[in-house]
Copies of this chain bind each other. A is one copy, B any other.
Amino acid sequence: MEPNIVTGSFQLMKSLNRSVILNTIRKKGAISRADIAKTTKLTPPTVSNLVKELLETEMIIETSLGVSSGGRKPTLLTLNSEMFHVIGLDIGSHHLKILLTDINGRIRKKQIHPIPDSITNEGLLDLMITSIYTIQKNEQIDRDKIIGIGIGMHGIVDVDQGVSIFAPNLKLKNIRVKDVLEKEFQMMVQVENDARAMSLGELWFGNGHGNDSIVCINVGRGIGAGIIINGQVFRGEHYISGEIGHMVIDLNGPKCTCGNYGCLQTFASGPAIVERLNKELKLGESSILKNKENEIDGEVIYQAALAGDLLSQNVLNKAGRYLGVGVTNLIHIVNPKRIVISGGVSNAKEFILESVKETIEQRALTDSAKQTEVIISKFGEDATVMGAIALILSQLFATPSNN
């Protein structure tokens, strides 16, 4: 089965130009036909014709008149953000987060539903469906004004089939998300791994904005990366690109849940940090967390560090340095312009970020590699669900490549 060959045709030409114009409006905000022609190098009549069609489909609207510096005032065009909407879902281990946004990614409504323990495939799909109906009815938005449903979930996702192949934290396999939701709602459905969705979210709306080659690292219970190359999510052959949690950085390191030894995850994930702190406490290190062994989690350690607890600060710093080793390996392989760190552990940015940066500075091979930008996610907890929104928008605004 050959992949469809992209040939030049009138259709392609037109849809390419329509897409160029649409993206120009999206990126520049309110812009006149004349300015679109200038920035895209399309001729004014071409722009006028395609703008007319876009106005008819109500994808864009004429808003106001701009200022003139001598001459007719430009009529400014913007996306018709009131008209169309997108739904995003984040399927976590214990909660389903659902978001309704406009076409610019501005949030209209956010809801959270608990996911019962030992849920089945059908149960989860039902929960997704009812949550979508609920948010849609609450906000009274016609179904045909919703463009699509994006879903970010942990584990391994077959994006082409729209199937969650394995979701370890829910103990589920082969959930046919796309099929079921497309049948129920008759609209575009995109399913993606959480870290990869996240990275697209940061690219579109967050701290990756303006770049086209970033890596987003999700440090929480596990560690996963989403790799963006040329503005596209990079998935690899079997949808497991970016599984850096199981990158071996110490052949003689601690045993990992995956069976190997010295995976990055055993050094820098949330659980690894908690474990390290507990170990140090047992060894008799002094800390304000002494005798609170049962209450300790990531947030507690972070608060203790903020309160000046040296042991907590030290443990977080160390995690940052280990993470830095993994990040440096990643820089030497993928060499992105910017790395965005998100997930639970990134909350403790004051104690993590600097040691990651220092480690890169020490270890990277070249001056340019040392200059790789490392920043914290803009969205924190909401990174995945924003990414789910971006999944749909990136389809909507994609430049066509087949006819």
Contact = CB atoms under 8 A, between A and B. Distances in A.
B252 A252 contact: yes
A13 B5 contact: no
A237 B325 contact: no
Nearest to A212: B3
Given A40-B7, A365-B246, A234 B229 contact: yes
A365 B258 contact: yes
Contacts of A368: 237-238, 240
A368 B238 CA distance: 6
Contacts of A242: 332-333
A335 B233 CA distance: 13
Interface in A214-260: 225, 227, 229, 234-244, 246-253, 258, 260
A77 B354 CA distance: 62
Contacts of A250: 249-252, 262
A17 B7 contact: yes
A8 B13 contact: yes
Taking residues whose C-beta sits less than 8 angstroms from the other chain, chain A's interface range is 35 or more
Contacts of A253: 251
Copies in the complex: 2
Given A8-B16, A8-B17, A332 B366 contact: no
Interface string A1-34: 0100111111011111100100010000000000
Interface string A300-325: 00000000000000000000000001
A329 interface: yes
Interface string A48-89: 000000000000000000000000000000000000000000
Contacts of A335: 235-241, 243
Contacts of A5: 20, 24, 39-41
B13 A366 contact: no
B244 A333 contact: yes
B252 A337 contact: no
Nearest to A337: B237
Q: Which 7 A-B pairs have the closest CB atoms?
A: A236-B335, A8-B13, A238-B368, A8-B16, A243-B332, A237-B337, A241-B335
